[in-house]
Structure 1
Amino acid sequence: MASEMQVQTNSDDDQESTPEAKPTRAHQLIYDVEEWPPIPISISVAFQHLLGCLGGIVTLTYTVSDAVCLTNIDPIRSQIFCSSLFMIGLSTVVQSLIGVRLPVFQGPSFTFLPPIIAMKTSGEWLCPEPIQGNNMTVNSTTNTSSYNELVYSRMNQLQGSLMLASIIEVVLGGTGAVGICLRFVGPITSSVTIFLLGYSLYPVPISYSKSYWPVALTSAFIVIVCGIYLAHVRISLPRCCRRRGVPSKGYSICDVFAILISIIITWILCFVLTRAGVLPDDQTEPAYKARTDTRTVLIETTPWFFFPYPGQFGAPGFNMALFIGFLSVVISSAMESVGDYFTIGKTCDAFPVPSHAVNRGILIEGLMSVLSASLGTGHATTSYTTNAAVVAITKVGSRYVLALAGVMGMVLAIFGKLGAVMTSMPDPIIGGITLVSLGIVLSLGIAGLRVVDMTSSRNISVVGMSIFIPIISSEWLNRNPGQIQTGSYELDKVIEIIIGFPMILGIIIAVFLDNTIKGTKKERGFELVTADVTTVVNGNDTGTTSKSSLTMVNKGRDIFDLPYINHLCRNNSCLKYLPFIQTNLHTKIDFVA
């Protein structure tokens, strides 16, 4: 979900001793970006990509539902899940075939949760006491009316605030301004952002795990065992699932399906405990939420088929505090996505990624985020870093496999019963999964500092202050609510969101300090990417480029080119000035610097 923001050229891995030599394939993909794998392996790998975001969708659905005060049996829960799954599928199809045109999976991001959680912790979105217990029974027309008004009002505020914030990402991609932003957002800012994201979300696993810690810890334990301890265990694939003549190196079943295995085992465990009478049937007991029969009414009342559409929860509203929170998240998400593009480009031996492809990818991501917000999902879509790991493991870098994964997600989203089943998952299972996944998010932030010179007192000071000041500020606000009094209610809430949300304040401090304190690009972790074709292909700066070398690079660039656009550019010269459209001049590689 997060990745490093730095860009490096493959100076050693992709070099050859002579200009005429063919480039090596560092990752030795079995299927390239433009190849169609056989149907069995296409379906299995596509399903694998889709499963990777399952935990994120469920967690976001639960968090958004609780934030807007939905009860456990409200069918809107399943509608949010299905809408999220549909948008993830649609975004993946468009991004892979039209956007950056790499095998990039679009999924939900945890970065959109802290602004929503901050609304609750600040007291702005407190739920009435009966709804807080998720056991509300609406017995009168008055209660029903007030409940619906509360829920739809908050859903509409999420819609409008996120739509406006996502338009900023559309502007970044459509104008090419993303390249300018990257000059100010370096590895230090990216790492601090990701670290504070993981830190900010620590209440999420606690809130879901506290109902029954034994199941939550079991769920986390299974994910750790399958994803780490058994990651090296590989199972050979049938011959029909691999290319003839290619030896089978096995398939990391436990690693790839760690979350799914954990969900299945712990769900069965909860079912056994429910039938055995171990879990209480008293709704006032915390362990009641670990039962598997608490949301059977939700499954029964949800229709078999559900078709999401914009405005399904009403007209968009607006909340200034939410907008400020989402705005910082959207900008940070766009910067992280650029890093994901370069990471996947390297994994697929399609590096460097030209600037027009990066701009188009961010543009598509912004447009899909606006559409996602209009569906009322409560989150935007962003690229998944773990997608690059799946590509490296399976050796399948085909963009068409990712498009297939998107189509599968859209088809599954239409089945409303599926959403109802997934949103009826016992709370402790979600707690265990988020316990591990958010820990990994936090560690990704630490790992991002590996390219930064942490022996420099400058960097130590920037990182330390960017992390510690936001933590102290948010903790002060939590212990002293109501201390911000400017005379304007809206301004008070905006300030509380900035101070109470460590990720936002951390971004502001990190960007300011990293760009105002003197330091070299190497010290700050920046890598110069102004190399031309000769540097990329031959690894030298002699200024001489052979015809075959230039042809090879041009062929690589064609991966990112939209079909028929070159013909249109010849007839309409003005199109070549659009930053997200490729030009037909392939004598130089254009980078985002």
Structure 2
Amino acid sequence: MYYGLQHYLSLAGSLIFAPLIIVPAMGGTDKDTATVISTVMLVSGLTTILHSYFGTRLPLVQGSSFVFLAPALVIINAHEYRNLTENKFRHIMRELQGAIIVSSIFQCIIGFSGLMSLLLRLINPVVVAPTIGAVGLAFFSYGFPQAGTCVEISIPQILLVLIFSLHLRGVSILGNRVFQIYAVPLSIVIIWAYAFFLTAGGAYNYKGCSPNIPVSNMLNDSCIKHAYTMKHCRTDASNAWETADWIRIPYPFQWGIPIFHLKTSIIMIIVSLVASVDSVGTYYSASMHINAKPPTRGIVSRGIGLEGFCSVLAGLWGTGAGSTTLTENTHTVTITKIASRRAVEVGAVILIFFSFVGKVGAILASIPQALAAALLCFVWTLIVALGLSTLRYTHTSSFRNMMIVGVSLFIGLSLPAYLQQYQPETALILPGYFIPYSAASDGPIHSGDKQFDFITNALLSMNMVVTLLVAIVLDNTVPGSQQERGVYCWSTTEDLSSDPSSLDDYKLPRKVSRVFRWAKCFDI
């Protein structure tokens, strides 16, 4: 039980922070945020158990992936939803549910049909590294702009989590590297308590102003000026605790019947391919760390197929994002040295239990927004680092690889920036950190077909989609040996026996080559 809790606590930021972004963006209330967090916990627990028994059978946690955050924000900021006031949250959530369900069915098909085995021929560390890196880099426009709304909380939060995870990473208490393992939850508790004392001490009390009054209803200019600070800094700005039920069991279709539209479904289908590449990288990294060998193509296909099924559950319950393997999971396994499926399963059961207690979701929904944004700066940075670390299976000194990764990342950031410069018709209609996600409706592509324009502008405005496309094209058209590309390290014995020539990369006899190969892959 202890190891299970340890595993999930170390992943706390990745599990619960996506709803803190998308629910307020959809116009949801604090109670809605608490409900979505509880739903995410339930679905994460269920899908982790399913994946542990029927998927890759690796100790990997399933959760709401940040890969789906960008397309969710694109859909949320579409023209038709900007001026929607009545039932806006439920309407957008149903739209997201429909798109996620369609994309998940597509993911099931490519996984269980064996098509994933063919796609794996196009995917290797040179493709995976920049794609995962782009997932984290995609949200730089949200990170500190949001954290900076309350620097007295966000900066100490960023510094503390860095001190715990880096400067104190070698400190052990009772044989456990507490600061490194629990860097995120420990820093949350400390800074949240600090923010509570600031609030209780009157640091954010302004004469005649109340944090519970919406900005639109404020008449005093001074109160309007301080409204943003009160919303992001105060620990009592959320009323989730007062409105959430003590006991509430999340159920399918709790937001209504999903809405299915072609344009949003196609966007999510393409993004599900990015999520699959993300998961493939995690499978290989975790398996080679735990088993000292890569998973077979059959295992990878089964894992992706089951992730598709798990995302269908996420769509039915309404988490706002698809369910995939959390990339940060590899980091947790590495630092805790706990690679037990049983521990992950026990933790999943505990998570399911807590999802039934509505007040648990309410507490998590009450985290000050500036504190959450500051922690996301760390989580997204970790995703970038883990993605780029996949290059260790390749020849990192290869000019070919350096150019492919560099060009993929640069174009993946620069091309979307070109589309994102086309501002909404009324710039004030969206907060500044959401303007990059308005390109789907306001981008430069105007063919006359509104659905085609929306889809194309949306896909080309998402960093990870562009990065994946550029990386796949370059890696599969520029000549390079299997060893150079990292395919050799990611090949199973069966793959090598079907291609004996690949053993000649090291110019050694076959049996000696296989032993030497793993030594080279792990830099032994």
The TM-score by the shorter chain falls in which range? 0.7 to 0.9
Q: In the TM superposition, what is the alpha-carbon distance from 1:51 to its structure 2 partner? A: 1.3
Deviation by residue 1:551-589 (Cα, 9 ceiling, x = unmatched): xxxxxxxxxxxxxxxxxxxxxxxxxxxxxxxxxxxxxxx
Maintained 8 Å contact 2:94/2:318: yes
Maintained 8 Å contact 2:327/2:383: no
Partner of 1:112: 68
- Evaluate the alpha carbon distance shift between residue 107 and residue 312 of structure 1 in structure 2; reply closer, same or farther with a 3 A threshold: same
Partner of 1:230: 168
Partner of 2:479: 518
Correspondent of 2:58 among 84, 102, 125: 102
Partner of 2:282: 340
Partner of 1:288: 230
Partner amino acid, structure 1, of 2:154: A
Correspondent of 2:332 among 365, 371, 390: 390
Alignment of 1:177-576 (within 5 A): 177-236=115-174, 250-280=175-205, 282=209, 283=211, 284=224, 285=226, 286-289=228-231, 290-296=233-239, 298-349=240-291, 351-481=293-423, 482=442, 483-527=444-488, 529-531=491-493, 541=510
TM-score by length of 2: 0.82
3-state SS of 1:107 partner: strand
Q: In the TM superposition, what is the alpha-carbon distance from 1:123 to its structure 2 partner? A: 5.0
Query: How far apart, in 1, do the equivalents of 2:284 and 2:127 lie?
Result: 18
Partner of 2:45: 89
Query: How far apart, in 2, do the equivalents of 1:44 and 1:425 lie?
Result: 25
Maintained 8 Å contact 2:133/2:383: yes
3-state SS of 2:112 partner: helix
Maintained 8 Å contact 1:212/1:428: yes
Deviation by residue 1:75-98 (Cα, 9 ceiling, x = unmatched): 221111000010111111111123
Deviation by residue 1:194-235 (Cα, 9 ceiling, x = unmatched): 222122111332353132112011111111111111110111
- Evaluate the alpha carbon distance shift between residue 534 and residue 275 of structure 1 in structure 2; reply closer, same or farther with a 3 A threshold: closer
Maintained 8 Å contact 2:128/2:281: no
Q: In the TM superposition, what is the alpha-carbon distance from 1:444 to its structure 2 partner? A: 2.7
3-state SS of 2:172 partner: coil
Query: How far apart, in 2, do the equivalents of 1:440 and 1:394 lie?
Result: 16
Partner amino acid, structure 2, of 1:506: T
Q: In the TM superposition, what is the alpha-carbon distance from 1:291 to its structure 2 partner? A: 0.6
Q: In the TM superposition, what is the alpha-carbon distance from 1:312 to its structure 2 partner? A: 0.8
Partner amino acid, structure 1, of 2:21: T
Partner amino acid, structure 2, of 1:147: E
- Evaluate the alpha carbon distance shift between residue 343 and residue 506 of structure 1 in structure 2; reply closer, same or farther with a 3 A threshold: closer
TM-score by length of 1: 0.73
Partner of 1:76: 32
- Evaluate the alpha carbon distance shift between residue 542 and residue 344 of structure 1 in structure 2; reply closer, same or farther with a 3 A threshold: closer
The total of aligned residue pairs comes to: 464
Deviation by residue 1:153-194 (Cα, 9 ceiling, x = unmatched): 211110000111111221122112222111102222212212
Query: How far apart, in 1, do the equivalents of 2:32 and 2:82 lie?
Result: 19
Query: How far apart, in 2, do the equivalents of 1:534 and 1:209 lie?
Result: 49
3-state SS of 2:476 partner: helix
**Relative to structure 2, which stretch is displaced further, 431-440 or 327-336?**
327-336
- Evaluate the alpha carbon distance shift between residue 510 and residue 339 of structure 1 in structure 2; reply closer, same or farther with a 3 A threshold: closer
Unaligned segments of structure 2, at least 5 residues: 212-223, 424-441, 498-507, 513-524
Correspondent of 1:152 among 90, 93, 105: 90
Query: How far apart, in 1, do the equivalents of 2:351 and 2:204 lie?
Result: 34
Maintained 8 Å contact 1:53/1:108: no
Query: How far apart, in 2, do the equivalents of 1:270 and 1:530 lie?
Result: 51
Deviation by residue 1:233-277 (Cα, 9 ceiling, x = unmatched): 1112xxxxxxxxxxxxx1011111111111111111111111111
Maintained 8 Å contact 1:170/1:366: yes
Alignment of 1:45-64 (within 5 A): 45-64=3-22
- Evaluate the alpha carbon distance shift between residue 454 and residue 259 of structure 1 in structure 2; reply closer, same or farther with a 3 A threshold: closer
3-state SS of 1:382 partner: strand
- Runs of 4+, deviation exceeding 4 Å: 120-125, 454-457, 532-535
**Relative to structure 2, which stretch is displaced further, 320-329 or 84-93?**
320-329
**2:105 equivalent to 1:167:** yes
Q: In the TM superposition, what is the alpha-carbon distance from 1:455 to its structure 2 partner? A: 4.6
Maintained 8 Å contact 1:211/1:288: no
Partner of 2:505: none
Maintained 8 Å contact 1:80/1:377: yes
Query: How far apart, in 1, do the equivalents of 2:132 and 2:152 lie?
Result: 29
Q: In the TM superposition, what is the alpha-carbon distance from 1:68 to its structure 2 partner? A: 1.4
3-state SS of 1:232 partner: coil
Partner amino acid, structure 1, of 2:26: V
Deviation by residue 1:380-403 (Cα, 9 ceiling, x = unmatched): 222234434433444433211111
Partner amino acid, structure 2, of 1:509: V
Q: Specify the structure having the higher radius of gyration (Cα).
A: 1
Partner amino acid, structure 2, of 1:109: S
Q: In the TM superposition, what is the alpha-carbon distance from 1:347 to its structure 2 partner? A: 3.4
3-state SS of 1:363 partner: helix
Query: How far apart, in 2, do the equivalents of 1:423 and 1:435 lie?
Result: 18
Q: In the TM superposition, what is the alpha-carbon distance from 1:307 to its structure 2 partner? A: 1.0
- Evaluate the alpha carbon distance shift between residue 266 and residue 306 of structure 1 in structure 2; reply closer, same or farther with a 3 A threshold: same
3-state SS of 1:79 partner: helix
Q: In the TM superposition, what is the alpha-carbon distance from 1:362 to its structure 2 partner? A: 2.0
Partner amino acid, structure 2, of 1:402: V
- Evaluate the alpha carbon distance shift between residue 231 and residue 542 of structure 1 in structure 2; reply closer, same or farther with a 3 A threshold: closer
Q: In the TM superposition, what is the alpha-carbon distance from 1:319 to its structure 2 partner? A: 4.0
Maintained 8 Å contact 1:173/1:361: yes
Partner amino acid, structure 1, of 2:117: G
Partner of 1:66: 24
Partner amino acid, structure 2, of 1:507: L
Query: How far apart, in 2, do the equivalents of 1:445 and 1:157 lie?
Result: 30
3-state SS of 1:516 partner: coil
Query: How far apart, in 2, do the equivalents of 1:356 and 1:267 lie?
Result: 45
Q: Whose helix proportion is higher, 1 or 2?
A: 2
Partner amino acid, structure 2, of 1:195: G
Cα-Cα RMSD: 2.5
Percent identical among aligned pairs is: 28
Query: How far apart, in 2, do the equivalents of 1:466 and 1:350 lie?
Result: 29
Partner of 2:501: none
Query: How far apart, in 2, do the equivalents of 1:527 and 1:464 lie?
Result: 22
**Relative to structure 2, which stretch is displaced further, 469-478 or 43-52?**
469-478
Unaligned segments of structure 1, at least 5 residues: 1-42, 129-145, 237-249, 544-593
- Evaluate the alpha carbon distance shift between residue 511 and residue 122 of structure 1 in structure 2; reply closer, same or farther with a 3 A threshold: farther
